[in-house]
Structures are given as C-alpha cells and as structure tokens.
Amino acid sequence: MIYDMIIIGAAPAGLTAALYGARQGSSVLVIEKDTPGGQAASTNLIENYPGSVEGITGPQLVDLMVAQAKSFGAELITDSIESIELREEIKTIKTAKAEYKSRSVIIATGASPRKLNVEGEKEFTGKGVGYCATCDAPFFQGLDIYVIGGGNSAVDEAIYLTKFGRRVTIIHRRDKLTADAVSQEAVFNNDKIDVIWDSEVVKLEGSGLVNSMTIKNLKTGETRTITADPDHGTFGVFVFIGNIPQTELFKDILELDSGYIVTDEDMRTEIPGVYAAGDVRKKTLRQVITAAADGAIAAFVAGKDLENSRH
C-alpha cells in the first residue's frame, strides 16, 4: 500500500495533521516511537489552549486528539524509524518492523528536554533528577525540590511542584526570570517558592539517590554545596532549560537552522512532498496551539499538493 501521507510523530502537531489529513479523505499513517503526546503528555495542566477555561491536563488532551484522529480513519503505529528516503516521488520509510511508502511525509518529531551536561546528571536521572514534573512529582512528597531554569516551563512546573514538595527553589542563571508576567507573579506570590539568582548547577552527587548539589554563582565565581535534609536523604532536581529538536534523521537531507527544520509558511521544506510541523520546525513560539496550527496547515497543504499533482 502507498499512503497519501505518513506523519512521523504523534504529539499535537502530528495528531492534528492526522486529523486534518484523514478528514479530507487522505490515507494517513502516523508512526510514533514512544507514547503519543510528546512533551504535552508530560504537562500537568494546559491553561492557555483555547476553550480549556478551567484547564485540561496534557494526557487528557492527547487522549482526545488520538481518539479524534482515529475516528476519521488515521492509523497509528508504534515503531522506530531506521532509515528514510524522501527525494523520490514515492517516499520510503524503513522501520524496525516494516517498510512503508507514501506520496507525502509530514515530519512532526518534536523536541526533547535539554540536559545540564554536568557530572552526576546521567547517573542520577530517575534517582532524584527528572525532566517531567507530572511523571515524577509524587516521588518527592514532603521533600525539598529544586527547579533549574527560568522560562515558562520552569516557572509553571515549579508552581505545580509546590503541591508535593516541602519547599521549591528555582535556580536560574540570570538575575530575572524569562517567564511571562502572569507566571512570574504567581511565583513571587507563592510563599513555598524561593529563587537562587545568577547561578548554575555544576555537580550532582549521592549514594544511590542524589543528596548533594554544587552550584556556582556566575557573577562572583563562588561555589556552594546544597545537601539533603538528613531525615530525608535526598531531594528532587527538575531540569527545564529548553529543548533539542529531534532532527537526527534529517540532518543530511533537509535544511536545518540551529537543528530545526526550515520551512515556508505553508510548512513545505525544500523537498517536494515533505513538510514539517510543530516544535521540530524553525519558528518563534513553541506551544500546543502553534503545534496544532502547524499540523493543520501541513496536512491541508500536503492534500492540495497531492491533488494538484494528479491533474
């Protein structure tokens, strides 16, 4: 079978593309290597998506998107892609389990959390160090929690973590937060949140679980060590310092800018029949709403391009 569209990635961009593609009558296959949803699936509460007046959890929104896309006939499989050929008129995608062909491909592989890249981080990932508050917060009930970063993700998750931690401390490289004004106000009005300014983590240590963290003041050069409460033996460290686009598959195929795929306003890449949508694309704002918009545009344009090619 040759699909009209193969969509790589089942986060909001890919799922919206699947919905729009299937609704316009295209045969659509979505290939996702992990659980659908991407970073949205690990977001506790999404309050800025239109219509979600009281907010909706990331997993709830993703479940609805998956069900909606499937209801119009989109197929969704879990598999990992091993190689890809995009320059031919019929595109070929080889996965660990099979080979698939399509007339068009929409890349919606998203981005993954950026790491600190400091001593001890890898060793203690899952043992005190995490990148998903929704996933790991319950493990730190009543403990001290440190959040690394100063943008919207860091600030919003810090607020969420106050529901679990005894105290939450934001560690930020700058002397002011970069989150939006509403989120900043919520932080400064929360008496369970402290902020350590102009500082970065340089080392994580522990025995089994992380229980010691060395931070450096970037203005004075001084370092100090934060240790866990002896009664607790550990603390939580959540890292929210940005994302890395998942474009390894495409680095020698498509034009990239700082790792992100370059497209025009219609989501077209420089290769006919190949589109990109969502966080993987070079753009100004990376949010669920812009990912969904990208996905809708990509599927619509891909459908029109296919229709034109048949005439």
Active site amino acids:
132, 135-136
SS in 3 state form for 264-294? CCCCECCCCCEEECHHHECCCCCCHHHHHHH
State phi, psi for 134 to the nearest 5 degrees: -60, -40
What order do you get walking across the sheet with 81-85 strand by strand?
2-3, 99-102, 91-95, 81-85
Bridge partner list, 274: 105
Q: Which residue matches tokens 């963290």?
A: 213
Q: Evaluate whether 277 touches 295 at the Cβ level (below 8 Å).
A: yes
Quick check: helix, strand or coil at residue 38?
Answer: helix
Cβ-based neighbours of 310, under 8 Å, separated by 6 or more: none
Half-sphere exposure of 119 (CA within 13 A, CB side): 8
Rounded Cα distance, 27 and 38, in Å: 23
Rounded Cα distance, 99 and 112, in Å: 26
Rounded Cα distance, 51 and 46, in Å: 11
Question: Helix count (H) and strand count (E) of the chain?
Answer: 7, 21
Structure tokens of 191? 């008496």
* Per-residue CA distances from 229 to 41, 156, 169, 210, 293 (Å): 32, 25, 14, 12, 46
